[in-house]
Amino acid sequence: MVDSRKTLNPAVSRRTVFRGLAGFLAGSPLLHSQQDPFRDHSRVPALGEMLDAFDFEPVAHAKIARQAYDYMSWGVDGEFTMRRNREAFDWVGLVPRRIAGVGPVQAASNFLGMNLPFPMLIAPTARHVMFHPDAEAATHAGATAASNTPFIVSNAATFPVEKIAAAATGPWWFQLYPQPGPDYNRQTLEKAQAAGCRAIVVTVDQQASVYERSTHDQNLATAASPVPAPTSVGPRRRANPYRVPDGRLWYEWTLLDELRRVAKVPLVVKGIVTGEDARLCLEHGVDAIYLSNHGGRSLDYNPSTLEVLPEIADAIQGRVPILFDSGIRRGSDILKALALGASAVGLGRVPLWGLAAYGGQGVQKVLEILQAELLQAMAAAGRPTLASIDRTLVRTEFL
């Protein structure tokens, strides 16, 4: 006869118990074994409920296609640099002045001839239509509504620069991916300047990037790249087996001399991460240095930009301003970058979270949150003006 008790309550082996316990512990957020956080899908919060920039990311994740989210969120290869960009802010401590006669806190400055209420810009990012149907037009409108924050329009934008410029009255810059031969660069920059761009940003750190590959490691079902590479203007060469894109690995320092002759507005070079390259930029007439590692999307195992910021500042000795990006999420992050030598900061992923979550109003809201956080951090640190912010404000323990 079959023992019914064994049928209804089979014995559980110790191996099964330990396997279940291990799975429970591995899923605990305290162990950071769960790469993606658990997300509340019960409702989408109202815009007024957003308290900091991080609140926008899960809303963006819920609203846009996985392909677009992956493109926006991830970095190149093992994403060490992308993680290090963020972690580096944890290695910089703030040392406040407790009795400093703070008074009214002012974050206004003049950057390349533009009066900025806050030392921040929207960094160039591509194809905003993946995140909202109004694309860069909505981003520009949101940036203008947030105290005329300058918007750097990407060379790989969805809309023509004329349409983006007409969407709002705030200042905007133009970012260029140079192409071999002078005609494309000259025609592109003349078009942007005719539309009203206030500065030109030349990106030089993407000569051999492969993050645009058609199938991303984090989304193996993606059929095609969300952002096609810029159209090549020379004779098409046979594709190589090493994933090095055609039309790159050709830059020379003389490129800056050629672009300087075309540019009627300030010329900024983006992607500098060494003091030596910063000094060479000055020799070729650059008006500002843009310290960036492309948000960890160009070369993995780069240093974080915050780690090399003091080196860049020491190399140029204040001869030109420094624009800084990669990893900024809070107003205190901006304060740390300013203390280490930045003149202003660029925001990349954070405005895209706002755009994907709530459109142009989301861009405006997330910028206003960061602006308020910066003022609060300055007040708490006893630094009432940008001129009062220097390296005595921070202690660094870079690993």
Answer with the residue of higher pLDDT: 9 or 241: 241
Decide if pLDDT at 47 tops 80. yes
Decide if pLDDT at 233 tops 60. no
d(CA 292, CA 228): 22
pLDDT given at position 38: 55
Mean pLDDT (whole number) for 344-359: 98
Q: 260 in a domain, yes or no?
A: yes
Decide if pLDDT at 17 tops 70. yes
pLDDT given at position 27: 63
Name the β-bridge partners of 174: 153, 200
Q: 397 in a domain, yes or no?
A: no
Confidence grade of residue 222 (pLDDT, cut at 50, 70, 90): very low
Mean pLDDT (whole number) for 216-222: 48
Residue pair 176/200 in contact by the 8 Å Cβ criterion: yes
Q: Tell me how many domains the chain contains.
A: 1
Q: Considering the chain, what percentage of its residues have pLDDT values greater than 90?
A: 69
Q: 216 in a domain, yes or no?
A: no
Amino acid identity of 90? D
**Owner of token pair 């660069």:** 185
**Owner of token pair 């957003």:** 50
Per-residue burial over 337-376, b = 16 or more CB atoms within 10 Å of its CB, e = otherwise: bbbbbbbbbbbbbbbbbbbbbbbbbbbbbbbbbbbebbbe
Name the β-bridge partners of 345: 120, 324
Residue pair 138/164 in contact by the 8 Å Cβ criterion: no
Q: 41 in a domain, yes or no?
A: no
Mean pLDDT (whole number) for 301-310: 95
d(CA 30, CA 223): 35
SS3 at position 271 = strand
Helix extents (H) in the chain: 4-8, 14-26, 56-63, 66-73, 80-87, 135-145, 161-166, 182-195, 254-262, 275-283, 305-316, 331-339, 349-358, 360-381
d(CA 307, CA 244): 28
Mean pLDDT (whole number) for 102-126: 93
pLDDT given at position 13: 80
d(CA 108, CA 160): 31
Residue pair 164/126 in contact by the 8 Å Cβ criterion: no
Output the domain CATH number for residue 154. 3.20.20.70
Q: Which two tokens stand for residue 319?
A: 């001869």
Residues sharing a CB contact under 8 Å with residue 305, sequence separation 6 or more, in sequence order: 85, 88, 273, 291, 292, 293, 324, 325, 326, 327
Tell which residue, 379, 378, 357, has the closest CA to residue 64.
357
Decide if pLDDT at 235 tops 70. no
Confidence grade of residue 77 (pLDDT, cut at 50, 70, 90): confident
Range of the domain at 116: 72-97+104-206+251-381
**Owner of token pair 């392909």:** 67
SS3 at position 214 = coil
Q: 21 in a domain, yes or no?
A: no
Decide if pLDDT at 224 tops 80. no
Q: 219 in a domain, yes or no?
A: no
pLDDT given at position 6: 52
d(CA 200, CA 257): 14
Q: Which residues are catalytic?
A: 294
Answer with the residue of higher pLDDT: 228 or 201: 201
Q: 242 in a domain, yes or no?
A: no
Residue pair 389/335 in contact by the 8 Å Cβ criterion: yes
Mean pLDDT across the chain = 87
Length of the chain: 399
SS3 at position 339 = helix
Q: 87 in a domain, yes or no?
A: yes
Name the β-bridge partners of 202: 176, 269
Residues sharing a CB contact under 8 Å with residue 316, sequence separation 6 or more, in sequence order: 275, 278, 279, 282, 289, 322
